[in-house]
Amino acid sequence: MKILVTGSNGQVGSSLVKQLNQMPDVEFLAVDREQLDITDGAAVAKLVNEFKPDAIINAAAHTAVDKAEQEVELSYAINRDGPLLLAQAANTVGAAMLHISTDYVFAGDKDGEYLETDATDPQGIYGQSKLAGELAVAVACPRHIILRTAWVFCETGNNFVKTMLRLAQSRDELGVVCDQFGGPTYAGDIANALIVMAKAISKGNQSFGIYHYSGLPHVNWHQFACEIFSQAKSQGLLNKEMSVNALTSDQYPTPAKRPINSKLNCNKIQDYFGIQSSDWRAALIRIKEYL
């Protein structure tokens, strides 16, 4: 099969490239923002018509949550308009469209895990623009998969794990929020899930729609940080004990409101595609690769 990957330099995008390179049965084309501006309709249509993929996996996004509050037009251009153009092009050539979304489409105030069918209510520009992208993709390409995920990390790019390890080099004490809960998700596992779904669709699986995919067990940011430092110390990357102070969201204000509850129920993706939740603790065993 043929797969077009956009956003190839991001965390999920680079993970997709790494894994697809090991699959001789898949022909793929991976592009970053310099090679394809997904908000340029003519460029998108030209590339898709020439390559004629069986599936487009859109890993491009404006994910700077706080900056999005000021960069409204840019957020909507990348998170809504670009996915719309990709989905329209996918529909034209008969390709499936796989699009990554986020826990930020929810208000984050539910008790318990969020289901795919729960009402959306994004609280900031990032979540609002990502929800607009979901709706645009669904309308433009009936053969779509929207994969909502959360708390993404891997060896490349900017993420919480790398930030904690960097700060530990110069500090002995940190404050980390303890009242926001979710599932850390390894980008390599997201990439694998997307590839499994794309291959299943190419073989006739018609289970299109919205799916949740994130890591287990659910934790808060403070617990996640403590596990990161524990792994780093046990593997010889830290020669000291880090003091991690628990903060409330009120004690750590940010321009964009964070969801208090980002727990995603991932039963549907397991039922329809046999995909297990991300084991984020297993991903931290390779923590040396994050430095």
Please state the rounded mean pLDDT for residues 144-164.
96
Written as one letter, the residue type at 3 is I
Contact 57, 245 (CB under 8 A): no
- Rounded (5°) CA angle 276-15-262: 50
- pLDDT tens track for 7-50: 999 999 999 999 999 999 999 999 999 999 999 999 999 999 99
Structure tokens at 207: 């289970």
Average of per-residue pLDDT values in the chain:
96
* Sign of the dihedral through C-alpha 103, 109, 111, 115: negative
Q: What's the average model confidence in pLDDT over 252-270?
A: 96
- At 17, list the tokens: 């490239």
Distance CA 148, CA 101 (A): 4
Cβ contact 157:164 at 8 Å: no
Q: Centre a 10 Å sphere on the Cβ of residue 12 and count the other Cβ atoms it contains.
A: 29
Say if residue 233's pLDDT is above 90: yes
Read off the pLDDT of each residue in 281-290 and give the average, rounded to a whole number. Answer: 92
The angle, 0 to 180 degrees and rounded to 10, between the axes of the packed helices 187-202 and 11-20 is: 60
Indicate the residue type of 125. Answer: I
Q: Is 129 exposed, middle or buried (0-12, 13-18, 19+ CB in 10 A)?
A: buried
Rounded to an integer, what distance in angstroms lies between the CA atom of residue 13 and that of residue 214? 16
> What pLDDT was estimated at residue 118?
98
Residue 291 has pLDDT above 90, yes or no: no
pLDDT tier for residue 250 given thresholds of 50, 70 and 90: very high
Question: Measured between alpha carbons, how far is 31 from 33 in angstroms, rounded to an integer?
Answer: 7
| CATH 3.40.50.720, domain 2-159+185-215+264-279, yes or no | yes
Which parts of 180-252 are beta strand (E)? 181-182, 185-186, 209-212, 215-216, 219-220, 243-247
- For range 155-173, the mean pLDDT: 94
Alpha helices in 34-112, H assignment, sequence order? 41-51, 72-76, 82-93
% residues pLDDT > 70 (the chain): 100
Kindly report the number of other CB atoms within 10 A of residue 247's CB atom.
16
pLDDT at residue 265, as a whole number: 98
Do 83 and 139 meet the contact criterion of CB atoms below 8 Å apart? no
Q: For the chain, where are the E strands, in sequence order?
A: 2-6, 27-31, 55-58, 96-102, 144-149, 152-153, 173-177, 181-182, 185-186, 209-212, 215-216, 219-220, 243-247, 261-262, 278-279
C-beta of residue 137 within 8 angstroms of C-beta of residue 97:
yes
Q: What is the mean pLDDT of residues 256-273?
A: 97
> How confident is the model over 113-134, as a mean pLDDT?
98
Annotated catalytic residue within 76, 126, 211, 213: 126
Q: What is the pLDDT of residue 203?
A: 95
* Residue 272 annotated as catalytic: no
